[in-house]
Structure 1
Amino acid sequence: MKISILKERAINESRVAASPDTVKKLKELGFEVYIEKGAGEASNFSDEDYKNAGAKVTNVIFEILADTDILLKVQATLDNNNEEFNEFKLLPEKVVIIGLLSPFENKALIEQYANKKYTSFAMELMPRITRAQSMDVLSSMSNLAGYKSVIEAANELNSVFPMMMTAAGTISPVKMLIIGAGVAGLQAIATGRRLGAIVSAFDIRSAAKEQVESLGGKFIEVPNDDAAQKDQVYATEASDDYKAKQQALIAEAVKKSDIVITTSMIPGKKAPLLISQEMVESMKPGSVIVDLAMITGGNCQLSQKDQMVVHNGVKIIGYTNMASKVAADASPLYARNLLNFVELIYDKESKKIVINQEDEIIKSTLVTYQGQIVN
């Protein structure tokens, strides 16, 4: 069987869907591995690294995609600026596509997958169960994004993070607010604390309090929290009364903060608007906001996709692909997630792909199958 990996053509995407290490593992499973020339350069993987791992490296797209059984992707985005490059013209009908397909945002693309009778899996739909942890790309990528968001904020902030005692006086530590204590938020808390910041965090799920405090952060609570949120893994939409209390509490915390990092997203919906223009204008000049929810619209009213804007002296960062900025670490983790998933759908004895829709992992991530959108 043949597995193919192309150079990612999405804007600001530096990751690659296979590392030399996972190529070796795929070869051990019995796959032929074809990789586009230069696919791993932005992740510090050379063509020679892939060749030494056993991959066939070529710049002939037809050779890579023709008769392939599995196409591993980072993003589903096609190269719209190059009319001569069209995956749909080259991929066989039997192909299995695995990647971060953003099915909620790419509905037209998913329909094309169905029309072409491609089998496709969206890795961001991975269920939060123990057996799926080794394939959980959202956790591995969000972890890196949370770390990098703090580094980006530190780079733009014209202050040092920790308290410093000097003969000329004392420098106060940076005050950081994290909105959303999921994987990205928790890593941002840990990174901020390591750098010496005073960190506060808010999350709609009261169950996040223990995790925030275990990392040295102060948990900000809304009185009379919605009971429905207490044991949720992902946030869900709150009541109007809760939202009003939430906004008042966040507004006060934002005003006091030097750095605000927002991570709040609701699966399948537009990101909730949590920071208004008025809140931004209440912050001190030189403060920084990092909006990690920009991929689904953003949590800050003034955020701009993939840009840093300055409003009233406050820098607002709206980069949608923070994990890609640390591609040398993101790519190996992502590639390992994909390898573990390939092992799930590949029968070693028959050397065939087996789509068992009774399996919770497969059922959750399967988007198109046999000409239909099945998720």
Structure 2
Amino acid sequence: MPRFLIPIESAPGETRVAASPETVKKFISLGCEVFLEQGAGKLAGFLDDAYKNIGTEVISPGDLDIWSKADVVLCVQAPLKDSLKRLKDRALIVGLLAPYRNESLANSLVAGRLSALAMELLPRISRAQSADVLSSQANVAGYKSVLLAAGALDRYFPMLMTAAGTVQPAKVVVLGAGVAGLQAVATAKRLGAVVFVSDIRPAVKEQVESLGARFIDPPEMDEKPDELGGYAKQSSESFLAAQRKQLSDHLSEADVAICTAQVPGKKAPRLISEEMLDRMRQGSVVVDLAIEQGGNCAETKKDETVVRKGVKLIGASALPCSVSNHASSLYSRNLLALLAPFLKNGELNLNLEDELIAGCLISHEGEIRCPDVFKEGGSN
């Protein structure tokens, strides 16, 4: 009977939990024994009693006995190095482990002879959709980014017809039509804004227009950026420069810009320059979701709102943590979807040849399987 441990998250500001009562109940029905550190789900709205009532054993935080016996640790972010040292050989860690250029994590995995599944490396294929953590959390971030913008904007989002006259709808420009960008489009449209979308991939035009937004066709160049494994490929600087020139006119008329363009393991492309910000009207808002990777917009700062010549620049990292209940529910279902097929007769047997497991298994019993990711930040 595999022992699953759900610890309290140690990262500052992390409010999510890796397993909800719903998914714990399912793990128990599959023959697992589940231990939860006291208060692990509290910030996500899941109290200890909800876990106890379905057969979870609630333990004191840092219980050395349980940590040393756990077969699987379900986490949102990687546990601290000292916590990893408590685990027994061949224990499995599953979560968003931030492996890019993270040699410290690699050293801990090797030293402890640990296995680890980094959910951010899950292949972007149809079979992986139910386990796709990046998509589920990006959905939350895209939704919340628009609410942040609406709260900071000095205008209404929808068109309003009043006795004092008609109020025109806000104009929103979304940069990047990935999961976060498309959710931002959908949310902004629900709030009544007129939405434009810029993306380097012409193939996403149909998705954008199906949501009622207007697609800004990318510059005509010999280079035709596409996507790799569900993500936009990194484009050349010449293409991005042409795109920025095109964007400048749209941004000069915009009330809100939502920046979502990211390339896994790489620095985010700089899409909004200081010159472009100079053309934006006072009172407009930029929400930069790519701030963890350096940001798409000049002068944005992580977790800060900077007012630059009257334009509010919001560096919005960790937005899923601000919607912790639903973000945790979705995240925990992702982990369940990945692991459940390998739980048979009360045993967990990962198939290392399985496409999903092979894609995100960064360490197996202390053997690093993708050293390039740890050292260079490239894909595996």
- 1:50 maps to amino acid: Y
- 2:312 matched residue in structure 1: 315
Q: 1:77 to 1:245 in 2, by over 3 A?
A: farther
- 1:75 maps to amino acid: Q
- 1:213 matched residue in structure 2: 209
Q: Name the SS for the 1:66 alignment partner.
A: helix
Give how far 1:244 is off: 2.2
- 2:220 maps to amino acid: N
Aligned mates of 2:287, 2:301 — CA distance in 1: 11
Q: 1:77 to 1:224 in 2, by over 3 A?
A: farther
- 1:76 matched residue in structure 2: 78
Structure 2 residue 55 is matched with structure 1 residue 54: yes
Q: TM-score, normalised by structure 2?
A: 0.93
For structure 1, list consecutive stretches of 5 or more residues without a partner in the other structure. Answer: 80-85
Aligned mates of 1:314, 1:340 — CA distance in 2: 43
2:251 to 251, 254, 271: 254
- 1:291 matched residue in structure 2: 288
Aligned mates of 1:125, 1:14 — CA distance in 2: 22
- 2:377 matched residue in structure 1: none
2:359 to 339, 361, 364: 364
CA-atom RMSD in angstroms: 1.6
Aligned mates of 2:250, 2:93 — CA distance in 1: 44
**After TM superposition, what 4+ stretches of structure 1 lie above 6 angstroms from structure 2?**
none
- 1:82 matched residue in structure 2: none
Q: Name the SS for the 1:367 alignment partner.
A: strand
Whether contact under 8 Å (1:201, 1:217) holds in the other structure is yes
Give how far 1:226 is off: 5.4
2:116 to 120, 123, 130: 120
Whether contact under 8 Å (2:172, 2:257) holds in the other structure is yes
Structure 2 residue 347 is matched with structure 1 residue 345: no
Aligned mates of 1:192, 1:60 — CA distance in 2: 41
1:133 to 97, 109, 129: 129
Aligned mates of 2:102, 2:295 — CA distance in 1: 17
Q: 1:55 to 1:239 in 2, by over 3 A?
A: same
Give how far 1:105 is off: 4.8
Aligned mates of 1:34, 1:20 — CA distance in 2: 12
Structure 2 residue 153 is matched with structure 1 residue 157: yes
Q: Name the SS for the 2:363 alignment partner.
A: strand
- 2:17 matched residue in structure 1: 16
Aligned mates of 2:286, 2:184 — CA distance in 1: 13
Whether contact under 8 Å (2:244, 2:271) holds in the other structure is yes
Aligned mates of 1:63, 1:310 — CA distance in 2: 51
- 2:87 matched residue in structure 1: 91
Matches within 5 A, 1:175-194: 175-194=171-190
Q: 1:206 to 1:225 in 2, by over 3 A?
A: farther
Q: Name the SS for the 1:315 alignment partner.
A: strand
Aligned mates of 1:64, 1:296 — CA distance in 2: 36
Identity of aligned residues (%): 47
Q: 1:283 to 1:362 in 2, by over 3 A?
A: same
- 1:224 matched residue in structure 2: 220
For structure 2, list consecutive stretches of 5 or more residues without a partner in the other structure. Answer: 371-380
Give how far 1:317 is off: 1.3
Give how far 1:277 is off: 1.9
